[in-house]
Amino acid sequence: MSIYKIEAGTAQHLGNRPQQNDRTVLYTAAKAPGYVMAVLADGMGSGGTAPEQLLHTAKQLFDDYRAGDSANLARVQELLRSIAMETHEILAMNPLGASGEPQTTLLLLVLTPQGQAVWAHVGDSRLYRFAGQQCVERSNDAAYVEHLVNVDKLPVEAAKKHRSARLLANVLGNRQKAPFVTFGTHQGLQPGDAFLLCSDGLWQYFTEAELAAVVARGTPRQSSEMLINKAIERAKGQGDNCSMAIIKLVAPAKEAPTYTVQKMGKAV
């Protein structure tokens, strides 16, 4: 019997933008029982075209994934890399539309039946890992900045400004530069652990401690409603698209016994 059960949900809000460019979804694997994937994408260029392509590619490759008797983290990581690179290649081949290149950030998270988590990250959407009411890990740009300095030989200050440079933007669909995919893993998942995947329309309005506390205290639906309402309030009419996926691991309820105990008579 599993030591935890999964409670999960997704939520979105348009913010103060004319259209919703974010996408987020939860998948189970057709050929890998017990595997769960969360996907979040923040689109740019041509609206929701790129995020929709990411969701399509993620589902297709995840449904084709076959797990062995024990989870192989390297294989799961390679699956996530394949989703990222195949999506990027498809987007880069598309002809330019009136609104520009279809591009998107990427967050992928897979949980295995063996209590393991593997995630992949491209761009400025964020993944947080919580233990109880503590944020113990989150995705960031440190590895990409280091890559730009060590591989592309950019000065440190120039590398740190990659978000404002079209050539250096780390997204899927950038025709001028292949995406740099950052990976993370965690083993030994326990009840009380949780993950939050969110676009910058959410995380820019909260501290890590605030996010951890809200996710810990409510169900995914309750937490997402509270976070969206507070993000809208703090944005003061200037809010971006706001999207999230929340996955919580909770202890299964104890089953009541289905039998009655009666006192036995003394044998003679």
Structural domains of the chain, with CATH: 5-142+169-250 (3.60.40.10)
| Mean pLDDT of the chain, nearest integer | 91
Q: Is the pLDDT of residue 237 over 90?
A: yes
Q: For residues 139 and 156, what is the distance between their CA atoms, to the nearest angstrom?
A: 20
Q: For residues 147 and 78, what is the distance between their CA atoms, to the nearest angstrom?
A: 20
Q: For residues 126 and 159, what is the distance between their CA atoms, to the nearest angstrom?
A: 19
Q: For residues 123 and 134, what is the distance between their CA atoms, to the nearest angstrom?
A: 24
In angstroms, the first-to-last Cα distance of the chain is: 41
Instruction: For residues 184-202, give the mean pLDDT.
Output: 97
pLDDT given for residue 249 in this prediction: 98
pLDDT band at 54 (very low <50, low <70, confident <90, very high): very high
Q: Is the pLDDT of residue 261 over 60?
A: no
Which is more confident, 114 or 265? 114
Query: Ramachandran region of residue 219, left (φ > 0), alpha (ψ -120 to 50) or beta?
Result: beta
Q: Is the pLDDT of residue 266 over 60?
A: no
Instruction: For residues 165-171, give the mean pLDDT.
Output: 87
Q: Is the pLDDT of residue 251 over 80?
A: yes
pLDDT given for residue 23 in this prediction: 97
Give the burial class of 3: count Cβ atoms within 10 A of its Cβ; 0-12 exposed, 13-18 middle, 19 or more buried: exposed
Q: For residues 89 and 94, what is the distance between their CA atoms, to the nearest angstrom?
A: 9
pLDDT band at 210 (very low <50, low <70, confident <90, very high): very high
Q: For residues 193 and 171, what is the distance between their CA atoms, to the nearest angstrom?
A: 29
**Dihedral sign, CA of 193, 198, 202, 203?**
positive
pLDDT band at 137 (very low <50, low <70, confident <90, very high): very high
Q: For residues 119 and 168, what is the distance between their CA atoms, to the nearest angstrom?
A: 22
What's the one-letter identity of residue 250?
A: V
Q: Pairing between strand 126-131 and 193-198?
A: antiparallel
Instruction: Name the pTM for this structure.
Output: 0.92
Q: For residues 206 and 71, what is the distance between their CA atoms, to the nearest angstrom?
A: 34
pLDDT band at 163 (very low <50, low <70, confident <90, very high): confident
Instruction: For residues 98-109, give the mean pLDDT.
Output: 86
Q: Is the pLDDT of residue 265 over 80?
A: no
pLDDT given for residue 21 in this prediction: 95
Three-class secondary structure assignment of the chain: CCCCEEEEEEEEECCCCCCCCEEEEEEECCCCCCCEEEEEEEEECCCCHHHHHHHHHHHHHHHHCCCCCCCCHHHHHHHHHHHHHHHHHHHHHCCCECCECCEECEEEEEECCCCEEEEEEECCCEEEEEECCEEEEECCCHHHHHHHHHCCCCCHHHHHCHHHCCCCCCCECCCCCCCCCEEEEEECCCCCEEEEEECHHHHCCCCHHHHHHHHHHCCHHHHHHHHHHHHHHHHCCCCCCEEEEEEEEECCCCCCCCCCCCCCCCCC
Q: Is the pLDDT of residue 1 over 90?
A: no
Q: For 158, how many CA atoms within 13 A lie in the half-sphere containing its CB? A: 11
pLDDT given for residue 267 in this prediction: 47
